[in-house]
Structure 1
Amino acid sequence: MLLPYYNRDLVEAGCDEAGRGCLAGAVYAAAVILPADFENEWLNDSKQLTEHRRYALREVIEREAVAWAVGVVSPEEIDELNILRASFLAMHRALDGLSVRPQHLLIDGNRFMPYGDTPHTTVVKGDGKYMSIAAASILAKTYRDDYMNRLHEQYPVYAWDRNKGYPTKAHRAAIRQYGPSPYHRRTFNLLGDAQLSLDL
């Protein structure tokens, strides 16, 4: 059973990201402020849900949330910053997009780069513990999936419609055969062996 809040008396935003471990594409993050009385029996960590249920819940979250927003950091920015800092920046961009200012942030994971002077709490596996983080995980995941499906139409050889940029054997085999696309993260070990991606 997910918890409705960490601080009952504060306007609280949950934050999560998607795409951190991918070889290609942007990293996405979402921030969600849910009503204090929000209830949904299906709400859970996005990884525990079917694709159909994630998209159905996205509609519910967007309709019923007090505020929500999605932040994006490009592959070029990831290579420039490193993926950890890029993930924090994506969360900051999502928070920047909220129409309501949160008084407290609930962050999935164990690290975060402070967002101004807004207090935050990091929660390991928070997307399976708090409603607002679970909601953020669903938005981040579905919006990133939409983006990777669009990129797949341009570069079908990498099968991004199936692997969404994650390091599957087929994805790495396609990189080896066709070389990296403009959307691959050049600072990542694209081939999964000792050969660095920049040597391709």
Structure 2
Amino acid sequence: MLRGPRESAIYYAVASVSPKVIDKIGISNAANLAASRATAKLLQYLTIVNYNSKIGIKIFLDGGLYLNKNLIRVNQQNQYKSVSTIIKGDEKIPAIMLASIIAKVTRDRFMLKLHKKYPQYGFDKHKGYGTKFHIKAIKKFGLSPIHRQTFKIN
């Protein structure tokens, strides 16, 4: 996320990773993959709108995230001057705070769409988190195609 050339513009991109990919590479690697994809999408958009990259875009990441530069084209890599990972960044950096809110709202809306397809799991109530209700539903109906197969229930 960054402030745009217009006084109050903020640009952002959202990316996701499928449950199958999460199962294959693990949740931490999947989070890094999503961060890299979102960054690549944002930089691509900024190239399209001719954002003045001479000012040097600073990229802030929360917690243990890192960018996979192989997913970001060389010409896009020249657009930013630094990447910083900030522990508890969602408590310290306004751009990370906003990104965290956008990610949660985006995910919650996606879970509401999934609820229409799989109402028996109650995604409208728990948004996919491992609540007692959700675990009971998994025990009763089994894992759906949108569940991670590596999701463990006791």
TM-score in terms of structure 1 length: 0.61
3-state secondary structure, aligned to 1:69: coil
Match among 64, 73, 96 for residue 9 of structure 2:
64
3-state secondary structure, aligned to 1:175: helix
Deviation at 1:132, TM superposition (A): 0.8
Q: Deviations over 1:73-108 (max 9, x none)?
A: 111111111111110111111111112266321111
Matched residues in 1 for 2:18 and 2:118: separation?
A: 17
Deviation at 1:135, TM superposition (A): 1.4
Alignment of 1:25-64 (within 5 A): 32-35=1-4, 64=9
Matched residues in 2 for 1:128 and 1:35: separation?
A: 23
Aligned residues: 135
Q: Which residue matches 1:96?
A: 40
Deviation at 1:137, TM superposition (A): 0.9
Q: Deviations over 1:112-141 (max 9, x none)?
A: 244356532111211121111111111111
Matched residues in 1 for 2:87 and 2:109: separation?
A: 26
Work out whether residues 33 and 68 of structure 2, in 8 Å CA contact, stay in contact via their aligned partners in 1. no
Q: Which residue matches 1:41?
A: none
Matched residues in 2 for 1:110 and 1:89: separation?
A: 12
Q: Which residue matches 2:59?
A: 105
Matched residues in 2 for 1:114 and 1:186: separation?
A: 25
Q: CA RMSD in A?
A: 2.3
Moved more, 114-123 or 138-147: 114-123
Q: Which residue matches 1:135?
A: 98
Alpha carbons of 1:130 and 1:35: their partners in 2 closer, same or farther (altered >3 Å)?
A: farther
TM-score in terms of structure 2 length: 0.78
Deviation at 1:35, TM superposition (A): 5.0
Q: Output the amino acid matched with 1:163.
A: H
Work out whether residues 77 and 86 of structure 1, in 8 Å CA contact, stay in contact via their aligned partners in 2. yes
Work out whether residues 108 and 122 of structure 1, in 8 Å CA contact, stay in contact via their aligned partners in 2. yes
Unaligned runs of 5+ in 2: 47-52
Alignment of 1:1-20 (within 5 A): none
Work out whether residues 114 and 120 of structure 1, in 8 Å CA contact, stay in contact via their aligned partners in 2. no
Q: Which residue matches 1:58?
A: none
Deviation at 1:111, TM superposition (A): 4.0
Deviation at 1:110, TM superposition (A): 3.0
Q: Percent of aligned pairs with the same residue?
A: 38
Would you tell me which structure has more helix in proportion to its own residues?
2
Work out whether residues 89 and 97 of structure 2, in 8 Å CA contact, stay in contact via their aligned partners in 1. yes
Q: Which residue matches 2:116?
A: 153
Match among 118, 126, 136 for residue 163 of structure 1:
126
